[in-house]
Protein backbone atom coordinates (compact mmCIF):
# COMPACT_ATOMS: atom_id res chain seq x y z
CA UNK A 1 0.00 0.00 0.00
CA UNK A 2 1.26 3.42 -0.95
CA UNK A 3 1.96 6.12 1.62
CA UNK A 4 1.23 9.80 1.19
CA UNK A 5 4.75 10.97 1.95
CA UNK A 6 6.68 11.90 -1.17
CA UNK A 7 3.65 11.28 -3.36
CA UNK A 8 4.54 14.36 -5.42
CA UNK A 9 7.52 12.45 -6.81
CA UNK A 10 5.11 10.22 -8.73
CA UNK A 11 3.90 13.28 -10.66
CA UNK A 12 6.57 14.53 -13.08
CA UNK A 13 4.98 17.98 -13.47
CA UNK A 14 6.01 18.94 -9.93
CA UNK A 15 9.64 18.92 -11.04
CA UNK A 16 9.07 22.16 -12.94
CA UNK A 17 9.03 25.73 -11.76
CA UNK A 18 6.53 28.47 -12.57
CA UNK A 19 7.75 32.07 -12.59
CA UNK A 20 10.95 30.80 -10.90
CA UNK A 21 8.86 29.44 -7.99
CA UNK A 22 8.05 25.88 -7.03
CA UNK A 23 4.69 24.90 -8.57
CA UNK A 24 1.83 25.04 -6.07
CA UNK A 25 -1.02 23.47 -7.99
CA UNK A 26 -4.43 24.10 -6.43
CA UNK A 27 -6.69 23.71 -9.46
CA UNK A 28 -7.43 20.00 -9.38
CA UNK A 29 -11.13 20.81 -9.41
CA UNK A 30 -10.54 21.82 -13.03
CA UNK A 31 -8.19 18.96 -13.84
CA UNK A 32 -5.77 16.76 -11.92
CA UNK A 33 -2.09 16.20 -12.61
CA UNK A 34 -1.01 12.76 -13.87
CA UNK A 35 1.26 10.21 -12.21
CA UNK A 36 4.06 8.65 -14.26
CA UNK A 37 2.21 5.31 -14.27
CA UNK A 38 -0.73 6.82 -16.19
CA UNK A 39 1.60 8.42 -18.73
CA UNK A 40 3.53 5.14 -19.08
CA UNK A 41 0.36 3.10 -19.59
CA UNK A 42 -0.64 5.27 -22.55
CA UNK A 43 2.86 5.34 -24.01
CA UNK A 44 2.92 1.58 -23.72
CA UNK A 45 -0.13 1.24 -25.96
CA UNK A 46 1.36 3.43 -28.67
CA UNK A 47 4.78 1.80 -28.44
CA UNK A 48 3.80 -1.84 -28.03
CA UNK A 49 0.22 -2.82 -28.77
CA UNK A 50 -1.60 -0.12 -30.74
CA UNK A 51 -4.40 -1.37 -33.00
CA UNK A 52 -8.09 -0.57 -33.21
CA UNK A 53 -10.27 -2.39 -30.71
CA UNK A 54 -13.06 -4.90 -31.32
CA UNK A 55 -12.15 -5.45 -35.01
CA UNK A 56 -8.82 -7.04 -35.61
CA UNK A 57 -8.13 -10.71 -35.91
CA UNK A 58 -4.52 -10.26 -35.01
CA UNK A 59 -2.43 -10.13 -31.85
CA UNK A 60 -2.11 -6.35 -31.51
CA UNK A 61 -5.85 -5.74 -31.78
CA UNK A 62 -6.61 -8.58 -29.39
CA UNK A 63 -4.14 -7.21 -26.83
CA UNK A 64 -5.41 -3.67 -27.06
CA UNK A 65 -9.04 -4.83 -26.89
CA UNK A 66 -8.17 -6.83 -23.77
CA UNK A 67 -6.52 -3.81 -22.14
CA UNK A 68 -9.52 -1.64 -23.06
CA UNK A 69 -12.16 -4.08 -21.83
CA UNK A 70 -10.18 -4.71 -18.63
CA UNK A 71 -10.76 -1.05 -17.76
CA UNK A 72 -14.50 -1.67 -17.84
CA UNK A 73 -13.96 -4.33 -15.16
CA UNK A 74 -11.76 -1.95 -13.16
CA UNK A 75 -14.49 0.70 -13.32
CA UNK A 76 -17.09 -1.88 -12.32
CA UNK A 77 -15.08 -2.80 -9.21
CA UNK A 78 -14.15 0.83 -8.50
CA UNK A 79 -17.85 1.79 -8.33
CA UNK A 80 -19.08 -1.58 -7.04
CA UNK A 81 -21.40 -1.78 -10.04
CA UNK A 82 -23.51 -4.88 -10.60
CA UNK A 83 -21.99 -5.68 -13.98
CA UNK A 84 -19.13 -4.56 -16.26
CA UNK A 85 -21.62 -3.98 -19.10
CA UNK A 86 -23.08 -1.12 -17.06
CA UNK A 87 -19.91 0.92 -17.69
CA UNK A 88 -20.20 3.17 -20.76
CA UNK A 89 -17.18 5.12 -21.91
CA UNK A 90 -17.76 8.70 -23.03
CA UNK A 91 -15.32 11.47 -23.80
CA UNK A 92 -16.03 13.12 -20.45
CA UNK A 93 -18.69 14.00 -17.89
CA UNK A 94 -20.20 16.64 -20.18
CA UNK A 95 -20.79 14.12 -22.95
CA UNK A 96 -22.19 11.77 -20.31
CA UNK A 97 -24.86 14.30 -19.31
CA UNK A 98 -25.70 15.09 -22.92
CA UNK A 99 -26.13 11.38 -23.61
CA UNK A 100 -28.36 10.87 -20.55
CA UNK A 101 -30.44 13.98 -21.20
CA UNK A 102 -31.16 12.98 -24.77
CA UNK A 103 -31.71 9.27 -24.26
CA UNK A 104 -33.71 9.34 -21.00
CA UNK A 105 -35.95 12.25 -21.98
CA UNK A 106 -36.72 10.79 -25.40
CA UNK A 107 -37.62 7.44 -23.85
CA UNK A 108 -39.51 8.33 -20.69
CA UNK A 109 -40.57 11.99 -20.47
CA UNK A 110 -43.65 13.80 -21.74
CA UNK A 111 -44.57 17.49 -22.07
CA UNK A 112 -45.18 19.00 -18.62
CA UNK A 113 -42.87 16.57 -16.83
CA UNK A 114 -40.30 18.05 -14.46
CA UNK A 115 -36.55 17.78 -14.03
CA UNK A 116 -35.16 18.67 -10.62
CA UNK A 117 -31.63 20.08 -10.20
CA UNK A 118 -29.97 22.17 -7.48
CA UNK A 119 -28.92 25.81 -7.71
CA UNK A 120 -25.24 24.90 -7.58
CA UNK A 121 -25.05 22.44 -10.45
CA UNK A 122 -22.18 22.67 -12.92
CA UNK A 123 -23.26 23.94 -16.34
CA UNK A 124 -22.75 20.38 -17.65
CA UNK A 125 -25.65 19.34 -15.43
CA UNK A 126 -27.84 22.28 -16.48
CA UNK A 127 -27.41 23.05 -20.18
CA UNK A 128 -28.11 19.54 -21.58
CA UNK A 129 -31.39 19.52 -19.57
CA UNK A 130 -32.28 23.03 -20.74
CA UNK A 131 -31.73 21.95 -24.34
CA UNK A 132 -34.02 18.93 -24.14
CA UNK A 133 -36.53 20.74 -21.90
CA UNK A 134 -37.11 23.28 -24.63
CA UNK A 135 -37.47 20.58 -27.26
CA UNK A 136 -39.86 18.39 -25.23
CA UNK A 137 -41.71 21.15 -23.27
CA UNK A 138 -40.42 20.07 -19.86
CA UNK A 139 -40.00 22.18 -16.75
CA UNK A 140 -36.72 22.46 -14.85
CA UNK A 141 -36.89 23.23 -11.14
CA UNK A 142 -33.94 24.14 -8.95
CA UNK A 143 -33.57 23.16 -5.29
CA UNK A 144 -32.60 26.22 -3.23
CA UNK A 145 -29.20 26.43 -1.58
CA UNK A 146 -29.21 27.93 1.94
CA UNK A 147 -27.05 30.87 3.03
CA UNK A 148 -24.59 28.43 4.60
CA UNK A 149 -24.31 26.68 1.19
CA UNK A 150 -26.19 23.56 2.29
CA UNK A 151 -29.20 22.16 0.44
CA UNK A 152 -32.59 23.45 1.59
CA UNK A 153 -34.25 20.13 2.37
CA UNK A 154 -37.70 21.68 2.86
CA UNK A 155 -37.46 23.22 -0.57
CA UNK A 156 -36.39 19.85 -1.94
CA UNK A 157 -39.43 18.16 -0.38
CA UNK A 158 -41.75 20.83 -1.71
CA UNK A 159 -40.46 20.44 -5.26
CA UNK A 160 -40.68 16.64 -5.60
CA UNK A 161 -43.97 15.39 -6.95
CA UNK A 162 -45.39 12.75 -9.25
CA UNK A 163 -44.46 15.11 -12.09
CA UNK A 164 -40.75 14.85 -11.21
CA UNK A 165 -39.22 12.39 -13.67
CA UNK A 166 -35.51 13.11 -13.34
CA UNK A 167 -33.47 14.29 -10.36
CA UNK A 168 -29.85 15.10 -11.22
CA UNK A 169 -27.61 16.53 -8.52
CA UNK A 170 -23.97 17.00 -7.71
CA UNK A 171 -22.23 14.49 -5.46
CA UNK A 172 -19.65 17.13 -4.46
CA UNK A 173 -19.94 20.82 -5.28
CA UNK A 174 -17.12 22.24 -7.39
CA UNK A 175 -17.81 25.62 -5.81
CA UNK A 176 -18.29 25.08 -2.07
CA UNK A 177 -17.09 21.52 -1.47
CA UNK A 178 -20.60 20.57 -0.29
CA UNK A 179 -21.13 16.81 -0.05
CA UNK A 180 -24.91 16.40 -0.14
CA UNK A 181 -26.39 13.50 1.82
CA UNK A 182 -27.05 11.43 -1.29
CA UNK A 183 -28.82 8.56 0.43
CA UNK A 184 -31.22 10.82 2.28
CA UNK A 185 -32.03 12.78 -0.88
CA UNK A 186 -32.32 9.60 -2.91
CA UNK A 187 -34.79 8.16 -0.36
CA UNK A 188 -36.89 11.33 -0.41
CA UNK A 189 -36.95 11.24 -4.20
CA UNK A 190 -37.89 7.57 -4.41
CA UNK A 191 -40.60 7.86 -1.70
CA UNK A 192 -42.30 10.77 -3.41
CA UNK A 193 -41.82 10.12 -7.12
CA UNK A 194 -40.76 7.54 -9.66
CA UNK A 195 -37.95 9.82 -10.86
CA UNK A 196 -34.68 8.54 -12.24
CA UNK A 197 -31.88 9.60 -9.89
CA UNK A 198 -28.62 10.77 -11.49
CA UNK A 199 -25.48 11.73 -9.59
CA UNK A 200 -22.86 14.11 -10.95
CA UNK A 201 -19.71 12.35 -9.79
CA UNK A 202 -17.20 14.65 -11.52
CA UNK A 203 -15.85 16.00 -8.21
CA UNK A 204 -17.02 13.19 -5.94
CA UNK A 205 -15.53 10.12 -7.61
CA UNK A 206 -11.90 11.39 -7.50
CA UNK A 207 -12.14 11.99 -3.73
CA UNK A 208 -14.49 9.42 -2.16
CA UNK A 209 -15.26 5.74 -2.35
CA UNK A 210 -18.45 5.59 -4.37
CA UNK A 211 -20.54 2.45 -4.06
CA UNK A 212 -23.42 2.73 -6.53
CA UNK A 213 -25.27 -0.23 -5.03
CA UNK A 214 -25.08 1.21 -1.54
CA UNK A 215 -26.15 4.68 -2.72
CA UNK A 216 -29.13 3.19 -4.56
CA UNK A 217 -28.80 5.60 -7.48
CA UNK A 218 -29.72 4.97 -11.12
CA UNK A 219 -26.86 6.69 -12.95
CA UNK A 220 -23.54 8.32 -12.17
CA UNK A 221 -21.41 10.42 -14.51
CA UNK A 222 -17.75 11.29 -14.12
CA UNK A 223 -14.67 12.21 -16.12
CA UNK A 224 -11.24 10.60 -16.10
CA UNK A 225 -9.08 13.71 -16.14
CA UNK A 226 -10.17 14.84 -12.68
CA UNK A 227 -9.07 11.54 -11.12
CA UNK A 228 -5.47 11.40 -12.36
CA UNK A 229 -6.47 10.03 -15.78
CA UNK A 230 -6.16 11.62 -19.20
CA UNK A 231 -8.60 14.00 -20.88
CA UNK A 232 -11.02 12.65 -23.48
CA UNK A 233 -12.39 9.82 -21.37
CA UNK A 234 -15.32 9.68 -19.00
CA UNK A 235 -17.77 7.15 -17.66
CA UNK A 236 -21.51 6.81 -17.39
CA UNK A 237 -22.61 4.03 -15.09
CA UNK A 238 -26.27 3.07 -15.18
CA UNK A 239 -28.45 0.21 -14.02
CA UNK A 240 -28.42 -2.50 -16.67
CA UNK A 241 -32.22 -2.75 -16.88
CA UNK A 242 -32.40 0.98 -17.68
CA UNK A 243 -29.52 0.89 -20.15
CA UNK A 244 -31.12 -2.01 -21.98
CA UNK A 245 -34.24 0.07 -22.57
CA UNK A 246 -32.51 3.29 -23.66
CA UNK A 247 -31.81 4.02 -27.30
CA UNK A 248 -28.43 5.23 -28.51
CA UNK A 249 -28.18 8.93 -29.34
CA UNK A 250 -25.09 8.58 -31.48
CA UNK A 251 -24.79 6.21 -34.43
CA UNK A 252 -21.86 4.82 -36.40
CA UNK A 253 -19.39 1.97 -36.42
CA UNK A 254 -19.01 -0.54 -33.58
CA UNK A 255 -22.48 0.13 -32.08
CA UNK A 256 -24.46 -2.07 -34.47
CA UNK A 257 -25.42 -5.69 -34.86
CA UNK A 258 -26.90 -5.73 -38.38
CA UNK A 259 -27.00 -2.88 -40.88
CA UNK A 260 -29.23 -2.67 -43.95
CA UNK A 261 -29.64 0.28 -46.30
CA UNK A 262 -32.90 1.28 -44.59
CA UNK A 263 -32.39 0.24 -40.97
CA UNK A 264 -30.04 -1.23 -38.40
CA UNK A 265 -30.13 -3.14 -35.14
CA UNK A 266 -28.03 -2.26 -32.14
CA UNK A 267 -25.22 -4.14 -30.47
CA UNK A 268 -25.89 -5.10 -26.85
CA UNK A 269 -25.12 -2.74 -23.93
CA UNK A 270 -22.59 -1.14 -23.50
CA UNK A 271 -21.45 -1.17 -27.15
CA UNK A 272 -24.64 0.30 -28.57
CA UNK A 273 -23.76 3.54 -26.74
CA UNK A 274 -20.15 3.69 -27.98
CA UNK A 275 -20.33 4.65 -31.65
CA UNK A 276 -17.09 4.85 -33.60
CA UNK A 277 -13.55 4.12 -32.49
CA UNK A 278 -13.56 4.72 -28.75
CA UNK A 279 -10.77 6.64 -26.99
CA UNK A 280 -9.20 3.33 -26.03
CA UNK A 281 -5.76 4.73 -25.21
CA UNK A 282 -7.38 7.27 -22.87
CA UNK A 283 -9.53 4.52 -21.35
CA UNK A 284 -6.39 2.49 -20.65
CA UNK A 285 -4.88 5.62 -19.04
CA UNK A 286 -8.01 5.86 -16.88
CA UNK A 287 -7.48 2.22 -15.86
CA UNK A 288 -3.94 3.05 -14.71
CA UNK A 289 -5.30 6.04 -12.76
CA UNK A 290 -7.84 3.81 -10.98
CA UNK A 291 -5.04 1.32 -10.19
CA UNK A 292 -2.98 4.16 -8.72
CA UNK A 293 -5.87 5.36 -6.51
CA UNK A 294 -6.82 1.87 -5.39
CA UNK A 295 -3.21 1.18 -4.50
CA UNK A 296 -3.42 4.13 -2.09
CA UNK A 297 -7.03 3.12 -1.22
CA UNK A 298 -9.95 5.52 -1.57
CA UNK A 299 -10.33 5.56 2.23
CA UNK A 300 -6.91 7.20 2.52
CA UNK A 301 -7.67 9.51 -0.39
CA UNK A 302 -10.80 10.80 1.36
CA UNK A 303 -9.04 10.99 4.75
CA UNK A 304 -6.35 13.12 3.12
CA UNK A 305 -9.00 15.39 1.58
CA UNK A 306 -10.71 15.75 4.98
CA UNK A 307 -7.40 16.49 6.68
CA UNK A 308 -6.46 19.21 4.17
CA UNK A 309 -9.96 20.65 4.29
CA UNK A 310 -9.82 21.02 8.07
CA UNK A 311 -6.35 22.54 7.89
CA UNK A 312 -7.49 24.98 5.21
CA UNK A 313 -10.57 25.98 7.24
CA UNK A 314 -8.29 26.71 10.18
CA UNK A 315 -5.72 28.81 8.33
CA UNK A 316 -8.27 30.61 6.12
CA UNK A 317 -10.41 31.65 9.11
CA UNK A 318 -8.34 34.74 9.94
CA UNK A 319 -7.87 36.01 6.37
CA UNK A 320 -8.61 39.70 6.27
CA UNK A 321 -11.11 40.98 3.63
CA UNK A 322 -11.54 37.50 2.13
CA UNK A 323 -15.05 36.06 1.81
CA UNK A 324 -14.98 32.29 1.62
CA UNK A 325 -17.67 30.24 -0.11
CA UNK A 326 -17.40 26.94 1.67
CA UNK A 327 -20.03 24.79 3.28
CA UNK A 328 -20.16 24.53 7.07
CA UNK A 329 -21.34 20.93 6.97
CA UNK A 330 -19.28 18.44 8.94
CA UNK A 331 -18.11 16.63 5.81
CA UNK A 332 -17.05 18.48 2.69
CA UNK A 333 -14.51 18.48 -0.07
CA UNK A 334 -11.33 20.56 0.04
CA UNK A 335 -12.75 23.19 -2.32
CA UNK A 336 -12.67 26.85 -1.34
CA UNK A 337 -14.05 29.59 -3.59
CA UNK A 338 -13.26 33.11 -2.46
CA UNK A 339 -13.75 36.73 -3.31
CA UNK A 340 -12.18 39.85 -1.89
CA UNK A 341 -14.15 43.07 -1.58
CA UNK A 342 -13.15 45.55 -4.29
CA UNK A 343 -10.52 43.31 -5.87
CA UNK A 344 -11.28 41.35 -9.03
CA UNK A 345 -10.77 37.58 -8.83
CA UNK A 346 -8.71 37.66 -12.05
CA UNK A 347 -6.25 40.14 -10.49
CA UNK A 348 -5.82 37.82 -7.53
CA UNK A 349 -5.25 34.72 -9.65
CA UNK A 350 -2.76 36.55 -11.92
CA UNK A 351 -0.85 37.73 -8.85
CA UNK A 352 -0.95 34.27 -7.27
CA UNK A 353 0.51 32.88 -10.51
CA UNK A 354 3.60 35.05 -9.98
CA UNK A 355 4.15 33.08 -6.76
CA UNK A 356 3.82 29.80 -8.66
CA UNK A 357 0.33 29.26 -7.24
CA UNK A 358 -2.20 27.95 -9.77
CA UNK A 359 -5.85 28.57 -8.93
CA UNK A 360 -8.87 29.15 -11.12
CA UNK A 361 -10.67 32.48 -11.45
CA UNK A 362 -14.09 32.93 -12.97
CA UNK A 363 -17.52 31.47 -12.39
CA UNK A 364 -16.28 27.84 -12.47
CA UNK A 365 -19.20 26.86 -14.73
CA UNK A 366 -21.63 27.79 -11.93
CA UNK A 367 -22.70 31.15 -13.31
CA UNK A 368 -26.35 31.24 -12.13
CA UNK A 369 -25.30 30.71 -8.51
CA UNK A 370 -22.63 33.45 -8.72
CA UNK A 371 -25.38 35.70 -10.05
CA UNK A 372 -27.59 34.77 -7.09
CA UNK A 373 -24.76 35.68 -4.69
CA UNK A 374 -24.29 38.96 -6.55
CA UNK A 375 -20.66 38.36 -7.49
CA UNK A 376 -19.16 38.21 -10.98
CA UNK A 377 -16.32 35.90 -10.25
CA UNK A 378 -14.47 34.05 -7.53
CA UNK A 379 -11.06 32.45 -7.35
CA UNK A 380 -10.99 28.86 -6.21
CA UNK A 381 -8.43 26.64 -4.53
CA UNK A 382 -9.00 22.90 -4.78
CA UNK A 383 -6.67 20.28 -3.34
CA UNK A 384 -5.98 16.67 -4.28
CA UNK A 385 -3.82 13.80 -3.14
CA UNK A 386 -0.49 15.40 -4.11
CA UNK A 387 -1.20 18.57 -2.12
CA UNK A 388 -0.06 19.04 1.46
CA UNK A 389 -0.33 21.58 4.28
CA UNK A 390 2.66 23.45 2.88
CA UNK A 391 0.80 24.11 -0.40
CA UNK A 392 -2.06 25.68 1.54
CA UNK A 393 0.40 27.79 3.55
CA UNK A 394 2.10 28.97 0.35
CA UNK A 395 -1.31 29.84 -1.11
CA UNK A 396 -2.32 31.76 1.98
CA UNK A 397 0.92 33.78 2.17
CA UNK A 398 0.79 34.54 -1.56
CA UNK A 399 -2.86 35.59 -1.21
CA UNK A 400 -2.09 37.97 1.66
CA UNK A 401 0.76 39.54 -0.36
CA UNK A 402 -1.39 39.77 -3.50
CA UNK A 403 -4.19 41.54 -1.65
CA UNK A 404 -1.65 43.98 -0.23
CA UNK A 405 -0.27 44.72 -3.72
CA UNK A 406 -3.71 45.13 -5.25
CA UNK A 407 -4.78 47.47 -2.49
Partner 1 sequence: MPIDSKVQEYKKILDLFPNAQEKYQYLIEQAKDNTDFPEALRNDNFKVSGCQSQVWLIPEKKEDKVYFMSDSDALIAKGLVTLIASIYSDETPEDILSSEIDLMEEFELGVILSPARRNGAFNMLKMIKDYASKLTNS
Active-site residue (options: 51, 140, 365, 400): 365
Q: Cβ closer to partner 1: 185 or 377?
A: 377
Residues 376-395 touching partner 1, rule: CB under 8 A, are 376-377
> Whose Cβ is closer to partner 1: residue 29's or residue 96's?
29
Total of chain residues touching partner 1, rule CB under 8 A = 18
Q: Please, is 163 exposed, middle or buried when counting C-beta atoms within 10 Å of its C-beta (0-12, 13-18, 19+)?
A: middle
Q: Which residues, 6 or more positions from 313, have their beta carbon under 8 angstroms from its beta carbon?
A: 326
Do residues 172 and 333 lie in contact, with contact meaning Cβ atoms separated by under 8 Å?
yes
Cα–Cα dist 395/401, whole Å: 10
CA distances from 347 to 168, 359, 361, 404, 405 (A): 34, 12, 9, 12, 10
The reply on whether position 406 binds partner 1 by CB under 8 A is yes
- Out of 63, 347, 389, 393, point to the residue binding partner 1 (CB under 8 A): 347
User: Is 350 near partner 1 (CB under 8 A)?
Assistant: yes
Name beta bridge partners: 87.
237
Q: Of 20, 57, 261, 318, which one interacts with partner 1 (CB under 8 A)?
A: 20
Work out whether 22 is an interface residue with partner 1 (CB under 8 A): no
26 lies in the binding site for partner 1 (CB under 8 A): no
User: Residue 213: CA atoms inside 13 Å, Cβ hemisphere, count?
Assistant: 9
CB of 339: closest distance to partner 1 in angstroms? Answer: 12
Among 54, 91, 344, 372, binds partner 1 (CB under 8 A): 344
Nearer to partner 1, 18 or 240 (CB): 18
Count the residues in the chain. Answer: 407
Bridge partners for 361 per DSSP? 379
How far out from the chain centre does Cα 22 lie?
Answer: 27
Residue from 44, 69, 275, 362 touching partner 1 (CB under 8 A): that is 362
CA–centroid distance for 351 within its chain = 28
Active site residue 365: yes
Is residue 351 at the binding interface for partner 1, with CB under 8 A as the rule? yes
User: Which range binds partner 1 by CB under 8 A, 90-98, 100-108, 256-264, 342-350?
Assistant: 342-350
Active site residues: 365
Amino acid sequence: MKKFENIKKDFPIFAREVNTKKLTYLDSGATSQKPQSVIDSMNNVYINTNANVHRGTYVLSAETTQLYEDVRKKCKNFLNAYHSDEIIFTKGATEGFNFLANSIVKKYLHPGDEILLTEIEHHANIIPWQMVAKQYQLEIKYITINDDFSIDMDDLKSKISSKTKIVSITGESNLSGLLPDIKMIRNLVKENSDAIFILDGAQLVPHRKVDVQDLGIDFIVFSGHKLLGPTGIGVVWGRLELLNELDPVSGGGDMIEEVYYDRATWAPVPHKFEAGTPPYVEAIGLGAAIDYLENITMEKVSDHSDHLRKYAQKIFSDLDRVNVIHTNEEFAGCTFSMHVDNIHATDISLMLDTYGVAVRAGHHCVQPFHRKLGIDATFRATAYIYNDENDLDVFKDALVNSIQMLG
